[in-house]
């Protein structure tokens, strides 16, 4: 068995950590690689950390030159010495990697096999002309088994998943309430199970992605589809292959009046039963992103390194 060494600086549970955790589990299912994880000394070691919660062995020392292959994401590159000659798998999750002013941009020149979470991310980094090594697109997968069951009784009219845009979310919440709509507004991250339970209880969920740089994929919208909440989500670039306006969700312009009107429209469709086509198509789209396909494609990347 070959060693696949992961590195994480875990300060809070984020979508980025969730996907690295998924890839850690994928490598546990490999016939040829055994994963190990190093957490920085400042990393949280509580139940919010999936490696701790699942009782995974955490290495006490970071020794990249002793591994067979490294798996890194984001700013993990800072921990990899320039003279390290080990093969690197680099998970690229955001469009920001393609921005010259972003610190991750400089890492594109370092040799690695890059796994991009969407076609849009792959196109963005390749267009820089800086990429050193193969670029593979593996769309984010969704662990459907780990999701709660959609609620039959939905006691929340509109949920606003607004922790990435808290000020906008608060303003939107006020406008929706003023129009007589019941709102549950999230402006900070909750424990994952609690958050998913709220989505499962909501007739409509408004997802507010990063409005400045966009998103590399934006898994929350796909989770909303799987949980059979009517998804309202503006375009954020990385969601273009699975958020299809009027087909499986509604995509308003990213401004307050447009989103308010779209929420009113979504609730009206739910009330008269015309939402069923969109909700059914959304569920089908979510199931197309089952995590087993992500694992299969990743195992092909690993096999190429043997």
3-state helix, strand, coil in the chain (%, to 5): 40, 20, 40
Question: Given this model, what pLDDT does residue 151 score?
Answer: 87
Q: What is the pLDDT of residue 257?
A: 98
Q: What is the pLDDT of residue 301?
A: 98
- Written as tens digits, the pLDDT of the chain (306 aa) is 999 999 999 999 999 999 999 999 999 999 999 999 999 999 999 999 999 999 999 999 999 999 999 999 999 999 999 999 999 999 999 999 999 999 999 999 999 999 999 999 999 999 999 999 999 999 999 999 999 999 889 999 999 999 999 999 999 999 999 999 999 999 999 999 999 999 999 999 999 999 999 999 999 999 999 999 999 999 999 999 999 999 999 999 999 999 999 999 999 999 999 999 999 999 999 999 999 999 999 999 999 998
- State residue 277's pLDDT score: 97
So what's the pLDDT on residue 78? 97
Looking only at the bridges linking them, the beta strands covering 58-59 and 230-232 are unpaired
Q: Which two tokens stand for residue 216?
A: 């590399």
3-class SS letters over 191-244: CHHHHHHHHHCEEEEEECCCCCCCECCCHHHHHHHHCCCEEECCCCECCCCCCC
Q: What pairing do the DSSP bridges indicate for beta strands 69-73 and 2-8?
A: parallel
Residue 35 confidence (pLDDT) = 98
Sign of the Cα pseudo-torsion (189, 191, 192, 194, in order): negative
What pLDDT is recorded for position 250? 98
CB atoms within 10 A of CB 290: 15
- Report all structural domains of the chain as residue ranges with CATH numbers, in order of start: 2-141+291-303 (3.40.50.2000), 144-288 (3.40.50.2000)
Give the pTM: 0.96
Tokens of 29: 């299912």
């Amino acid at each position: 068995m070959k060693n696949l060494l992961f590195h994480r600086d875990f300060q809070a549970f984020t979508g980025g950590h969730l996907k690295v955790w998924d890839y850690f589990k994928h490598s546990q299912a490999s016939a040829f690689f055994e994963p190990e994880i190093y957490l920085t000394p400042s990393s949280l070691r509580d139940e919010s950390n999936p490696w701790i919660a699942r009782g995974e062995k955490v290495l006490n020392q970071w020794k990249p030159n002793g591994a067979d292959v490294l798996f890194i994401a984001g700013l993990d590159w800072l921990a990899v010495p320039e003279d390290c000659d080990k093969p690197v798998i680099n998970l690229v999750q955001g469009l920001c990697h393609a921005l010259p002013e972003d610190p991750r941009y400089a890492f594109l020149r370092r040799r690695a096999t890059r796994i991009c979470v969407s076609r849009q991310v792959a196109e963005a980094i390749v267009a820089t002309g800086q990429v050193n090594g193969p670029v593979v697109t593996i769309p984010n997968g969704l662990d459907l088994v780990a999701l709660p069951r959609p609620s039959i009784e939905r006691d929340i009219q509109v949920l606003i998943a607004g922790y990435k845009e808290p000020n906008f979310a608060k303003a939107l919440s006020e406008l929706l309430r003023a129009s007589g709509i019941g709102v549950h507004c999230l402006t900070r991250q909750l424990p994952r199970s609690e958050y998913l339970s709220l989505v499962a209880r909501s007739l409509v969920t408004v997802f507010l992605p990063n409005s400045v740089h966009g998103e590399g994929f934006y898994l929350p919208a796909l989770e909303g589809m799987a949980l059979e909440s009517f998804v309202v989500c503006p375009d954020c670039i990385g969601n273009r292959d699975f958020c299809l306006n009027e087909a499986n969700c509604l995509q308003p312009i990213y401004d307050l009046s447009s989103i308010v009107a779209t929420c009113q429209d979504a609730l009206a469709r739910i009330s008269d039963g015309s939402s069923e086509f969109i909700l059914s198509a959304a569920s089908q789209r979510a199931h197309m992103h089952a995590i087993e396909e992500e694992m299969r494609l990743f195992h092909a990347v690993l096999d190429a390194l043997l």
